């Protein structure tokens, strides 16, 4: 059974927005404080036991243009996808994507010395949101999934999208986008039992209230 959600609910305030606002402010603060070299994914330091850099590298950016582009993506997630899960769902997808990307880059790309940026995580959030959108808005959901798939295929075959490296001022690590998308897809299946539990609790509460 498909659940129909009024269009107006897309942009209504959600508790999840607290998470997006916190992430926005955190990235802004770290960028303003010049913490890029301190928090970036740095293979040599990770080898020495600084494992937190696998996560913090997603929070800092090459420059303000790189930051602005990623924050624009974050705003899109906040506005259009927030209603498709609660704050726990999104926090899980966020952290799971960051971990998968960090480990993927570390294990499978030994040539990669350093990495920064939220774009890989954003791909995880977009994939998760686009797939869940199918249940509420099938046409736009399938279109988004097709566009994301096409983008990832282009990057796999041809490298970064035209103009992306010029805008960000550095190399675009397209492997991070792929790992993020895989993480977002995997999160769909990992969070399904949790959504089923929510439904069972709601049904039980309705029965008790009846």
What residues does 114 pair with on adjacent strands?
42
Q: Which SS3 state, helix, strand or coil, does residue 78 take? A: helix
Q: Is residue 4 part of a domain?
A: no
* Residue found under tokens 């966020």: 94
**Rounded Cα distance, 82 and 57, in Å:** 24
Q: What is the pLDDT of residues 122-154, one digit of tens each?
A: 999 999 999 999 988 999 999 999 999 999 999
Q: Is residue 69 part of a domain?
A: yes
The three-point CA angle 85-87-88 to 5° equals 90
Q: What is the pLDDT of residues 22-62, one digit of tens each?
A: 999 999 999 999 999 999 999 999 999 999 999 999 999 99
Confidence bin at 16 (pLDDT 50/70/90): confident
Q: Is residue 174 part of a domain?
A: yes
Q: Is residue 1 part of a domain?
A: no
Q: Is residue 102 part of a domain?
A: yes
Q: Is the pLDDT of residue 2 over 50?
A: no
Q: Is residue 5 part of a domain?
A: no
CB within 8 A of 142, min separation 6: which ones? Answer: 134
What residues does 41 pair with on adjacent strands?
115
For a pLDDT cut of 90, what percent of the chain falls above it? Answer: 77
Tokens standing for residue 109: 């790309």
- At 88, which CATH number? 1.20.1540.10
Listed in order, strand segments (DSSP E) in the chain are: 41-42, 114-115
pLDDT at 33: 98
Does this model's pTM top 0.95? My answer is no
Q: Is residue 7 part of a domain?
A: no
The three-point CA angle 144-93-42 to 5° equals 105
Say how many residues make up the chain: 210
Buried b (16+ CB within 10 A) or exposed e, 125-163: bbbbbbbbbbebbeeebeebbeebeebbeebeeeebeee
Q: Is residue 147 part of a domain?
A: yes
pLDDT at 203: 59
Q: How many domains does the chain have?
A: 1
Cβ atoms within 10 Å of 197's Cβ, excluding its own:
10
64 alpha carbon, distance to own chain's centre: 19
Range of the domain at 53: 12-209
Given its phi and psi angles, is residue 189 left (phi above 0), alpha (psi -120 to 50 degrees) or beta? Answer: alpha
pLDDT at 1: 35
Nearest alpha-carbon partner for 59 in 27, 91, 33, 90: 27
């Amino acid at each position: 059974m498909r659940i129909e959600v009024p269009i107006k609910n897309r942009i209504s305030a959600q508790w999840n927005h607290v998470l997006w606002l916190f992430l926005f402010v955190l990235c802004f603060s770290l960028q303003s404080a010049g913490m890029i070299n301190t928090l970036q994914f740095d293979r040599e330091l990770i080898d020495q036991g600084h494992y937190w850099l696998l996560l913090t590298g997603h929070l800092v950016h090459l420059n303000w243009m790189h930051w602005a582009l990623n924050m624009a993506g974050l705003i899109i997630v906040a506005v259009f996808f927030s209603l498709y899960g609660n704050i726990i769902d999104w926090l899980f997808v966020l952290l799971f994507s960051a971990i998968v990307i960090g480990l993927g880059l570390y294990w499978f790309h030994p040539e990669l010395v350093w990495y920064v940026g939220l774009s890989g995580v954003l791909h995880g959030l977009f994939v998760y949101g686009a797939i869940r959108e199918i249940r509420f808005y099938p046409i736009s959901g399938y279109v988004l999934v097709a566009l994301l798939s096409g983008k990832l295929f282009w990057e796999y075959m041809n490298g970064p999208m035209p103009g992306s490296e010029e805008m960000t001022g550095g190399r675009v690590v397209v492997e991070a986008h792929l790992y993020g998308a895989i993480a977002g897809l995997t999160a769909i299946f990992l969070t399904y039992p949790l959504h089923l539990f929510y439904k069972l609790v709601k049904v039980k509460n309705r029965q008790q209230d009846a």
